A and B are shown apart, each in its own frame.
Chain A
């Protein structure tokens, strides 16, 4: 079956630090990959996505590249801000295999210190 493994948190960084949150997956075929973010007191928001190998998703200064050879989709940001403090979830969907359910990782809580 499908599964997503992401970096255990919590992660605490200083403002302007470089961020990497690791995510690897197990799936047959060619899943689509996502990063969702949950800010304090809010629901899940789609941060970025990639639907095929070597695609790079980007949004709000965050980037992630779909690496099929390493089955990874690591989230990166060059200079984090206090407002990036949130819980980040890596997820996949494997539409080609007849289901549309998202499979999520456990989430990584990120705290940015001024």
Chain B
């Protein structure tokens, strides 16, 4: 069974540009989560989808971040326009139950 995949693995963009991160969850997992780790600090929750609906987006830092989950399958996280403080590693996870979240390898975003 394929695990959670994320694309790209690393992205370097300039301040003000737009970046779109993609996450493909494990097939059949209704729950999809986005997290990020900034500057070696703790990993922080961004939002949670159940199928195509946003269940909890309390962790989204501001309106420059837009997450979508098309047809309850893959998800994208768009940052527009990117700021320096958005640099970090963005993790996606999927699950059938909350206490079994499976994580992808992460996307390292560098904003210069």
A49 to B48, CA, bound (A): 21
Cβ of A93 within 8 Å of any chain B Cβ, yes or no, is yes
Tell me the number of A-to-B contacts counted with CB atoms below 8 Å.
64
Measured between alpha carbons, how far is A34 from B93 in the docked complex, in Å?
15
Binding site for A on B (CB under 8 A): 3-4, 6, 31, 33, 35, 37, 40-45, 48, 55-56, 58-59, 91, 93, 98-106
Interface of A is mostly: strand
Q: Which residue on chain B has the smallest CB distance to residue A36?
A: B103
Asked, given contacts A43-B106, A89-B43, A107-B40, whether A100 binds B56 with beta carbons under 8 Å apart, the answer is yes
Q: Which residues of A pack against B, CB within 8 Å?
A: 4, 32, 34, 36, 42-46, 49, 51, 89, 91, 93, 95, 99-107
Evaluate contact between A49 and B99: CB separation under 8 angstroms.
yes
Q: In the complex, what distance in Å separates the CA atom of A47 from the CA atom of B64?
A: 34
**Shortest Cβ gap from B75 to chain A (Å):** 15
Given A46-B102, A95-B98, check contact A104 B4 (CB 8 Å). Answer: no
